[in-house]
Structure 1
Amino acid sequence: MATRQAATRTVTLRTGDARDLAIVDALMTDAFDPSYGEAWTRSQCLGVLALTGVHLTLAFVDDFPAGFTMTRSVADEAELLLIAVAPDHRRRGVGTALIRAAIADCSVGSIAKLHLEVRAGNDAVKMYDAHGFTKVGERRAYYRGKTGVAYDAHTYSKDINS
């Protein structure tokens, strides 16, 4: 288990699996504004977790769930499928610990690139920029919120071990 500092609290990371979907659901409900349509359903998460190369990492602060990432690797590329940080733990090192762990996991494997997708205007872009991700594309009207409003998605990529 990896441990990283978040302000004066410790962020503890551990590998998760399908038994942790209640935690993932609760974090997505807390972290993702439903008006943007970014959260996945439990059945989507369960289906993806069953695939080869998918990895779930959970972050805890003082033993309370604070965030998670779900990544998938295929051949020499990986994608950050989901990242969520509970609002009361944002800007306290949880997202950074999760991103660093995802990058570190890629660097010990044979992964050459890590990709991600983010809604245009999402504040997380600052964190991705700080960790060396570069915008490589855009998907117009990719996310659809509950009201039917469409939001663009931006794709980012990071070379691993470069």
Structure 2
Amino acid sequence: MPGKFSTRYKLSKKAVKQLADEAKARLGNVPVTWDDLEEARSSDYTVYFDAGLACLARVRGVLIPTLMCLLRRGFSWLPYVVVDRGASQAIGRGADLMAPGIRKVVGTFKEGDVVAIVDEQSNVPVGVGRALKDSETISQMAKEKSKGKVIENLHYPGDQLWKLIS
């Protein structure tokens, strides 16, 4: 059973500016209006709501876009990897992403950056992760069918964050 939010409140202009600066530096051009942001906290997550939509969250200390936001407002603003059906299914069970499941890398990113994970058949985001290697290395590993973990899975449909914001 997912937890509940213990607090939810409107962010001050100063807090919104700090969050916007952090999001821009870490994620790029996030599709958030920044006008009327609310912050909600649970025991495990801090979630930021824009016009009622859970758009950003802190997961394991990392600021990420939520899948809800990527599904409703698009994901092309964030670097992403396209994965095969087997990898999509594994991501949906909480697994980290291995190199053989990657079909294509879109955009450039460094180790530690946040990336979307997109299913190749449906062209729908199935996860949000943290890159364990840079985009060039991951792309090369995928081409060579190398083995190894390349993206840490931070958020996927059905996880505790998903249940909390759905």
Flag the structure with higher strand content: 1
Which is higher, the Rg of structure 1 or of structure 2?
Answer: 2
TM-score, length of structure 1 as denominator length? 0.32
TM-score, length of structure 2 as denominator length? 0.32
